[in-house]
Chains A and B, each alone.
Chain A
C-alpha cells in the first residue's frame, strides 16, 4: 500500500545540512496497523508528512497504491490527500469558525460532493465516533477528546484507504486516548491501513507492528 525508497529529506540550517530522513526504506501492507516510535527529532513526523503527501522528499520516492507521488503535481498530491488519506493531527487542527458538522463536511466540500449528501454523511460519521449530539458545537465548545473525535470523523469523510495519525493521543488524557485507540483499531478492522506516530507505549503495545526511528533512520 505504502512504500518508501531511499527516502531522504535534508533541511538547510544556515550552512549546515540536517538530515531529517536518511535513506528510509519502509513498506506498509494494505490493512496493516503500524506505529512509528522514537524520540523527538528522530524524523517520525517528517516521515509521516511524506507518506501523507504533505511534504516532498529531497531524494528518494514514496509510492502510494503504486503511484510515485514524486511525479504528481501539486493538484495531484491534493487529490491523493483528499481521496486516499485521512490525516489526524496532534493539535486536532479543526477550523475554529466552523461547527463539528461543517468541519467534517469540509473535505467533501473540496471533493465537490453535493451539499445534502455531505451533511448527511458528516452526521453519520460524527454519530459513529459518539458525537451525534454535538454536531452543531464549535471546536471551542468541546473538550480535547471530543475535538480529536471530530478530527477522526473528518479524516474519514472521503472514505480513505489510509488513516495517518501524528501523535493522535498526544493532547488528550489517558482515558480519551484509549477511546481514540479503540476507534483507530476499529478502522483497521474495517480494512483500512492505519499509520501512527506516537510516544505512547500503550498504542505501541496494541498495534500489530512497530517501527523504531532514530536520527532520521528506521531501525530494524
Chain B
C-alpha cells in the first residue's frame, strides 16, 4: 500500500501544475458547498433561534383575506380579549393598542409606532423575552411614562435618548423609564416601537381599538388547538368568517424552516455545479495521465501487473487528488463561510454567524472522494484494459 501511494505521489509530483489545478478545482467546488451550507445554517439559526424562545406564544391579529391580498383590516375589542382569556390552557393574553404617532424629541419629529399595554401583562409576558437594557418597563401607577426600543433611543434622533429624558408623543410629554435591548432579526420591529401603559395610550391614541393580542399558552403541545379556538371565538364575536388570524410561533418556525430549506437547497444546487465541473477536471487529469503513461502501463503489465493492480493505481491517484482537494475545500469553505457572514454583516448590518457543522466537513470530504473515484473509474478502467503488447510498443 505504501508503495502504491509512492507511485501515485511520484506521478503527481512529476505533473505538479496539473495535479495542483485539479486539486484546486475540487477545492473550489467543495469549498463553495461548505460555505453556503454553513451560512445557510447560520441564517436559519439566527431567525428560528429567536422564535424558539417564543415557542409558547400565539400572535392574534385581525387579518382578512381580500382578493388574494393579506393585510390588517379592522381591530379587536375588549370583549375579544375577554373571550380569549376565558379559553382553557391560556396563561395570559395581552392586548396591544398601537398606532403610528408623531413623536418629538429636541425639535425633531418622526412617525413612530406607539403601543399601549397593561404594565402587569408586559412584565409577566412580553418582558420575559424582551428585557430593558437600561431602566425598566412602565408600572401600573406610573403616569405618562414610556419604554422605548433600541433604535428609537440610538438611531432615530440626532441625540441619543436615555432614561429620564422626555419626549413628546402626539402632544403629550412622556418620561422615558426604560430602553429595551437590541432585538434585530425577526423581532427587529420591536427596536422601533415605543411602549406606554394602556391607560396612557387611551388618552393619546386616536382610538381604543386593540390591534393585536399576544397570548401565551401553558402547554406548547396545545398551542395549535388553542389558536384555532381563538380564531373561532373572535370570529363569532364579530360575526365574520376568517376575520382573525392566530399564528403559533411553532407554525411560524416551521414556515421559516421550510423557506430556508428551499433557499439552502437552491444555493447548494448552484454550488454543486462547480463540483460537477471539478469532477470533469479529475476525469480529464486521470485520462491524460493514462494516455501519457500508456507505455508504462504496458511495462507494468509485462512484468506481471494484473488489470486490477492497474485499476487500483489509477483509482488511488483519483482518490488522493480528490481527498487533498476535499480537505483544502474544507479549509477554504470555513474561511469562505466566515467571509460571507462578515460581508453580510458589513453590507446589511445583520448578524449571521456561519455555523460550520463537523458532519458537513466530514460529508464534504467523503463526497469529494466519491466524486474523485467515480470520475477516475472510466480512465482507470481504460488503463487496466490495455493490451500489454500494444501498450509497451506505444511511445
Contact = CB atoms under 8 A, between A and B. Distances in A.
A102 B3 contact: yes
Contact of A109 (B3, B388, B389): B3
A54 B389 contact: yes
B389 A49 contact: yes
Contacts of B3: 102, 105, 109, 115
Contacts of B387: 55
Contacts of B14: 97
Interface residues of A, number: 29
Nearest to A154: B303
Interface in B344-395: 387-389, 392
B68 interface: no
Interface string A148-180: 000000110010000000000000000000000
A102 B300 CA distance: 13
The winner among B10, B13, B305, B306 for most chain A CB atoms within 10 A is B306
Given A97-B11, A98-B7, A81 B304 contact: yes
B7 A110 contact: no
Contacts, number: 74
Interface of B: 2-4, 6-7, 10-11, 13-14, 295-296, 299-309, 387-389, 392
Contacts of A95: 7, 296, 299-300
Contacts of A196: none
The winner among B6, B14, B304 for most chain A CB atoms within 10 A is B304
B302 A52 contact: yes
A107 B10 contact: no
Given A78-B301, A82-B303, A110-B305, 9 more contacts: A75-B306, A75-B308, A81-B302, A97-B13, A98-B6, A98-B10, A107-B304, A111-B304, A155-B303
A58 interface: no
Nearest to B390: A55
Interface in A43-100: 49, 52, 54-55, 74-75, 78-79, 81-83, 87, 89, 93-95, 97-98
A93 B388 contact: no
A83 to B, nearest CB: 7
Contact of A79 (B300, B306, B389): B306
A118 B392 CA distance: 25
A106 interface: yes
The winner among B6, B7, B303 for most chain A CB atoms within 10 A is B303
Contacts of A107: 303-304
A89 B10 contact: no
Nearest to B295: A93
B299 A158 contact: no
Contacts of A158: 304
A94 B295 CA distance: 10
A156 to B, nearest CB: 11
A110 B309 contact: yes
The winner among A49, A87, A109 for most chain B CB atoms within 10 A is A109
A139 B149 CA distance: 79
B304 A110 contact: yes
